[in-house]
């Protein structure tokens, strides 16, 4: 069948049709660098090296599953989540627009704990120790620079505003603000760097810190000496949402038991909802059997106490335990938008991570840059192809035309092959594609040169054709196989764009094989079939 011209054309048509169909039905998937998107490499965060290799591998395994679920909730088309080795995770989100939100869902919002809120009296007596620790560790200038990140507020203003707008419940707070302000004004500000920024809290087990002072407190708390000065099993943790008291905003600083009595591992399900009555966002959660038992036992012992729901080291909310809670509970998010409740529910539902993840590598490409690249690559591609086509036709005339047709078949094969293999077209991939056009003509050139030689040696047309193809074969095979070897090594070595390039190159080599050895030959046979043996052929 293959020996007959008709059979050959039928085969070419079938191959072209299959490729064309693949290309048409699946389309080409564009890489991150073309359509914009985000590439992240994550690793288990283990700064102290306390986790064993097995524990890290396990954490990554679970993180992979969890992140997959979370990403599905983000609505990204065909996300790539890939484990590299046993400790690393690659996440590629193509076409994502809101990178910040994606990242927080993937990484930051990850570690859920339930902790008991302790009364402030637990630390009250030790707070002065913190002040002393800071004074002992840092120089006055350092304390001043840390403390003065906040915009200076004159004591008078603060007092008047608080007095005017504060409700009855917060009168204590206003008082304390006044005393604190007076303290700061009268005494040396560096003597009480820490406690000076704390105001009496409005709810059990918390202090209020003015929003502008939060950063200073965090810097102080980050000091090792301060951590050591704290009583054992006590941690100071900020709440995520600011609270408005009067015209000013504060963040609550909770006194928590350091060890969580439960982590998100026990969490089974979570759904976002809206409280119809107060129009508040909330997240309902469900615990597994063991978790539910522990929760029930714990809450039964601590009725009347407060329970902090801590997500990534920030208190999400700290509701009072009204009664024993079994396997179902609820987190209230106040007036925050429902979107936030949904994200939180998503994070919870997908399961909290067994360990924290750290971003090792991050690449983002905006959609506009990607589009620019595609446009420029198209122009470069068209110009490149036109140049190659004119060289081929100018040099080989009719035979060159045949090669160009074969090149057309080649292009459809490559694009169809890329679509069929679900390969991603990246920027280096396009370069590889354009380059492979240049190299695809190589096989044709090899064959044509051989045919010319045979014709020059006085062979008849048909014989020259057969000899030409036969002689060029070994060179084409060997050169293509070595290039294929390099492409495969590249594929093994590379990630992302480089892999795209390797795949394009590999498919290009296989396609050029078919196009040069089979398509060009078929076209040649067709061309010769209409000629007598003695006619001159245009090559």
Partner 1 sequence: MRVFQHANYHYIENRKRAYVASGTVIIVGIVGMIVNLFTIGSWQHYGVDFTGGSLVQVRFLDDVEAGSVRNAVPGASEVTRFDQQNEFVIRASLEEGMPVDSLSTQMEAQLAQAFGAGRFEIVRTELVGPKIGAELQQKAALAVLVSFALTLIYLAFRFEWRFGVAAIIATVHDLLITVGVLALMRVEISVTTVAAVLTIVGYSLNDTIIVFDRIREALGKKGARKADYVGLINRAINETLPRTTLTLVSSFVVLLAILALGPVVIRSFAFVLLVGITVGTFSSIFVASPALVEIQKRWGRGDESKPKKTRPAPATV
Query: Which residues, 6 or more positions from 408, have their beta carbon under 8 angstroms from its beta carbon?
Result: none
398-457: contacts with partner 1 (CB under 8 A): 427-428, 430-432, 434-435, 437-439, 441-442, 445-446, 449, 453
Q: Tell me if 480 sits within 8 A of 513, measured CB to CB.
A: yes
Among 140, 486, 531, 535, contact with partner 1 (rule: CB under 8 A): 486
Binding status of residue 98 toward partner 1 by CB under 8 A = no
d(C-alpha 199, C-alpha 180), whole Å: 8
CB of 280 to partner 1, least distance (A): 30
Pick the binder of partner 1 from 189, 242, 384, 408 (CB under 8 A).
384
Q: Tell me, residue by residue from 184 to 223, as one string, x for binding to partner 1 by CB under 8 A and - for no binding.
A: ----------------------------------------
CB of residue 34 to partner 1, shortest distance in Å: 9
Question: Which residues in 221-260 contact partner 1 (CB under 8 A)?
Answer: none
Beta-bridged to residue 357, according to DSSP, are: 44
Query: What is the C-alpha to C-alpha distance for residues 310 and 317, in angstroms, rounded to an integer?
Result: 8
Of the pair 402, 446, the CB lying nearest partner 1 is at 446
CB closer to partner 1 out of 60 and 287: 60
Q: How far apart are CA 237 and CA 258, in angstroms?
A: 10
| Pick 77 or 478: Cβ nearer partner 1 | 478
> Which has the closest alpha carbon to 270: 331, 215, 314?
331
Count the residues of the shown chain that bind partner 1, applying the rule CB under 8 A: 71
| Contact pattern for partner 1 over residues 344 through 383, marking x by CB under 8 A | --------------xxxxxxxxx-xx--xx--xx-xxx-x
Q: Is 395 among the residues that bind partner 1 (CB under 8 A)?
A: yes
Measure the CA–CA gap between 162 and 245, rounded to whole angstroms: 8
Which of 422, 490, 477 has its CA nearest to residue 446?
Answer: 477
Taking alpha carbons only, the member of 158, 48, 32 closest to residue 90 is 32
Least Cβ distance, residue 59 to partner 1 (angstroms): 17
CB of 67 to partner 1, least distance (A): 16
For partner 1, which residue of 3, 121, 474, 533 counts as binding (CB under 8 A)? 474
Smallest distance, Å, CB 275 to partner 1?
A: 33
Give the contacts of 221 (CB within 8 A, at least 6 positions apart): 227, 236
Is 498 near partner 1 (CB under 8 A)? yes
From residue 210, how far is each of 171, 222, 243, 249, 453 by CA, in Å?
A: 16, 18, 9, 6, 88
Q: Which of 475, 525, 528, 537 is the binder for partner 1 (CB under 8 A)?
A: 475
Q: SS3 for 464-532, per residue? A: HHHHHHHHHHHHHHHHHHHHHHHHHHHHHHCCCHHHHHHHHHHHHHHHHHHHHHHHHHHHHHHHHHCCC
Q: Rounded CA gap, 109 and 253, in Å? A: 19
380 CB-side CA count, 13 A: 14
Q: 101 to 130, contacts with partner 1 by CB under 8 A?
A: 103
- The three-state secondary structure class of 167 is coil
Least distance between partner 1 and beta carbon 419 (Å):
22
Q: Establish if 534 lies at the interface with partner 1 (CB under 8 A).
A: no
Measure the CA–CA gap between 517 and 524, rounded to whole angstroms: 11
Q: Does residue 479 bind partner 1 (CB under 8 A)?
A: yes
Q: Which of 492, 529, 533, 534 binds partner 1 (CB under 8 A)?
A: 492
Residue 183 or 442 with smaller CB distance to partner 1:
442
Among 194, 285, 306, 501, binds partner 1 (CB under 8 A): 501
Binding mask 42-81 for partner 1 (x = CB under 8 A): -----x----------------------------------
Considering only residues 154 to 173 of the shown chain, the ones binding partner 1 according to CB under 8 A are none
Question: Pick from 52, 42, 45: which is nearest to 85 by CA?
Answer: 42
- Identify residues 285-324 at the interface with partner 1 (CB under 8 A): none
Identify which of residues 338 and 405 has a Cβ nearer to partner 1 in the complex.
Answer: 405
Closest approach of Cβ 206 to partner 1, in Å?
Answer: 27
Least spacing, CB of residue 216 vs partner 1, in Å:
18
Query: Quick check: 356 and 111 in contact, CB under 8 A?
Result: yes
Q: Considering the rule CB under 8 A, would residue 469 count as an interface residue with partner 1?
A: no
């Amino acid at each position: 069948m293959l020996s007959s011209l008709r059979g050959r054309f039928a085969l070419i048509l079938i191959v072209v049709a299959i490729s064309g169909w693949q290309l048409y039905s699946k389309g080409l998937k564009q890489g991150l660098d073309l359509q914009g998107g985000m590439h992240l490499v994550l690793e288990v965060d283990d700064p102290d090296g306390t986790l064993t290799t097995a524990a890290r591998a396990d954490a990554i395994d679970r993180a992979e599953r969890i992140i997959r679920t979370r990403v599905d909730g983000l609505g990204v088309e065909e996300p790539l989540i890939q484990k590299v080795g046993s400790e690393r995770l690659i996440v590629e989100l193509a076409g994502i627009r809101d990178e910040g939100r994606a990242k927080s869902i993937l990484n930051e919002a990850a570690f859920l704990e339930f902790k008991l809120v302790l009364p402030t009296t637990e630390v009250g007596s030790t707070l002065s120790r913190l002040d002393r620790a800071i004074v002992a560790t840092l120089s006055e200038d350092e304390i001043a620079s840390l403390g003065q990140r906040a915009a200076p507020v004159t004591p008078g203003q603060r007092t008047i505003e608080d007095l005017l707008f504060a409700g009855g419940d917060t009168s204590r707070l206003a008082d304390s603000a006044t005393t604190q302000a007076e303290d700061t004004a009268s005494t040396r500000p560096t003597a009480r760097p820490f406690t000076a920024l704390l105001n009496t809290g409005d709810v059990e087990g918390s202090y209020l810190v003015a929003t502008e002072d939060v950063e200073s407190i965090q810097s102080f708390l980050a000091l090792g000496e301060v951590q050591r000065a704290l009583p054992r099993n006590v941690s100071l943790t900020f709440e995520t949402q600011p609270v408005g008291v009067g015209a000013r905003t504060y963040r609550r600083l909770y006194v928590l038991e350091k060890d969580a009595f439960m982590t998100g591992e026990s969490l089974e399900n979570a759904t976002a909802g809206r409280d119809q009555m107060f129009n508040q966002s909330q997240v309902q959660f469900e615990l597994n059997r063991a978790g539910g038992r522990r929760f029930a036992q714990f809450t039964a012992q601590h009725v009347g106490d407060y329970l902090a729901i801590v997500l990534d080291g920030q208190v999400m909310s700290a509701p009072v335990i009204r009664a024993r809670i079994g396997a179902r509970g609820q987190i209230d998010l106040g007036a925050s938008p429902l979107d936030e409740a949904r994200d939180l529910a998503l994070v919870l539902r997908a399961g909290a991570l067994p360990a924290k993840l750290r971003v090792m590598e991050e690449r983002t490409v905006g959609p506009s840059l990607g589009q620019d690249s595609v446009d420029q690559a198209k122009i470069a591609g068209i110009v490149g192809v036109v140049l190659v086509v004119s060289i081929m036709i100018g040099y080989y005339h009719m035979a060159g035309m045949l090669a160009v047709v074969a090149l057309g078949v080649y292009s459809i094969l490559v694009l169809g092959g890329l679509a069929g293999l679900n390969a991603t077209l990246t920027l280096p991939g396009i370069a590889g594609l354009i380059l492979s056009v240049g190299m695809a003509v190589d096989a044709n050139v090899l064959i044509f040169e051989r045919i010319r030689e045979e014709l020059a040696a006085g062979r008849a047309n048909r014989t020259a054709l057969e000899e030409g193809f036969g002689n060029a074969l070994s060179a084409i095979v060997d050169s293509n196989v070595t290039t294929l070897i390099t492409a495969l090594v590249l594929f093994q070595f590379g990630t992302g764009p480089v892999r795209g390039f390797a795949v394009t190159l590999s498919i290009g080599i296989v396609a050029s094989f078919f196009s040069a050895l089979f398509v060009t030959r078929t076209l040649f046979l067709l061309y010769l079939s209409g000629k007598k043996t003695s006619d001159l052929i245009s090559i």
